[in-house]
Structure 1
Amino acid sequence: MSDQRRALAVVDALAAVLRKEISAVESGQFEALVAFAGEKARLTSALEKYLQDDPAAVSKPRLAELKDLILRDKRNLELAQTATADMIREIRTLRERHSVAGLYGTTGARRDIHATNGGAVDKTV
C-alpha cells in the first residue's frame, strides 16, 4: 500500500471516529468520549506524519471535509463542556443552599428558610 493510500485510509478512519464522537455527544453518551480521545490522537499523529512526508497525499476537498467534521465535533464538545459546567455550578448552589451554610447566617442564628426573598422591585416606568 502506498503512502498516499495509507494517508487516505487514515483520513477515512479519523472521519469515522469523529462521526461516532459527534453521534455520542448528540445522543448524550458521554462515557464513550474517553475511548475516542486516544484513537483521535493516534490517527491525527499518523495523518500529520503522512502529510509532512507528502503534503499532496490527501486532496484539499478531503481535508476540507475532515476540517468540517473537526469543527462540528469541537462545537459539540464545547457545548457539552458548557452544559456540564452549568450543571456543576447548579449542584454546588443547591448543596450550599441545603448545607449548614444555607441554614445558618453569619451570626450563627438559624435562617428562616421558609421566608421568601424580598428582592428589589424596579418601580420606574
Structure 2
Amino acid sequence: MTSEQSACVTAIKALNGVLRQEIKALQAGDFVAVQELQAEKERLGAELKAAASLLDDSARLELRREFAALAGLIEQDRVLLERVASAAGDVGRELRRIRDRHSLGGLYGKSGQTQERPQAGSARIDASL
C-alpha cells in the first residue's frame, strides 16, 4: 500500500468514526454533539479530498470498498439531517401560526390607541380545536 493510499484509508476511517458519532447523536436528538462534530467532519473531509486527489485510478479501485462504505454513511447522515431540518421548519411554521393566531395584530396603533377594524364578512373560527 502506498503512502497516499494509507493516508486515504486513515482519513476514511476517521471520517467513518465521526459520521457514526453524528448519526448516533442525531438519532438521540443530541444536537449539541452534532454541532461539536461539524468542525472535525469538515477537517477530515478536506483531508480526505486532498489525499484522494493524489491517488491514481488503480489505487482508487483498490480502495473502492472503503469509499463505498463511506458513501453509505454519508447518505445515512444526509437523510437524518434532512429530517431534522424538515422537523425544525415544521416547528417554526407552527410557532408562527400560533403566534399570529394569538396576537393582537392590527388592533392597536404605535401609541396604543385602538384602531378601527375593517368589517369582516364572517367571524374567524379556530377549527383546530
- Shorter-chain TM-score range: 0.7 to 0.9
**1:29 and 2:27 equivalent?**
no
Q: For the Cα contact (< 8 Å) 2:107–2:117, is it kept in 1? A: no
**In the TM superposition, what are the counterparts of 1:1-125 in structure 2 within 5 Å?**
2-55=3-56, 56=59, 59-101=63-105, 107-108=116-117, 116-117=125-126
Paired positions, count: 114
Q: Which runs of 5+ in 1 are unaligned?
A: 119-125
What's the CA shift for 1:108?
Answer: 2.4
Say if 1:93 and 1:70 are closer, same or farther in 2 by CA, change over 3 A.
same
CA distance in 1 between counterparts of 2:33 and 2:94 reads 24
CA distance in 2 between counterparts of 1:25 and 1:42 reads 20
CA distance in 2 between counterparts of 1:87 and 1:77 reads 15
Instruction: Tell me the TM-score normalised to structure 1 length.
Output: 0.78
What's the CA shift for 1:97?
Answer: 1.1
Instruction: Tell me the TM-score normalised to structure 2 length.
Output: 0.76
**What does residue 112 of structure 2 align with?**
none
What's the CA shift for 1:117?
Answer: 4.8
Structure 1 stretches of 4+ with a deviation exceeding 6 A read: none
Aligned residues: percent identity? 34
SS in 2 for 1:100: coil
**What does residue 121 of structure 1 align with?**
none
**Superposition RMSD on alpha carbons, in Å?**
2.8
Q: For the Cα contact (< 8 Å) 2:25–2:34, is it kept in 1? A: yes
Say which is worse superposed, 29-38 or 53-62, in terms of deviation: 53-62
Say if 1:29 and 1:102 are closer, same or farther in 2 by CA, change over 3 A.
farther
SS in 2 for 1:51: helix
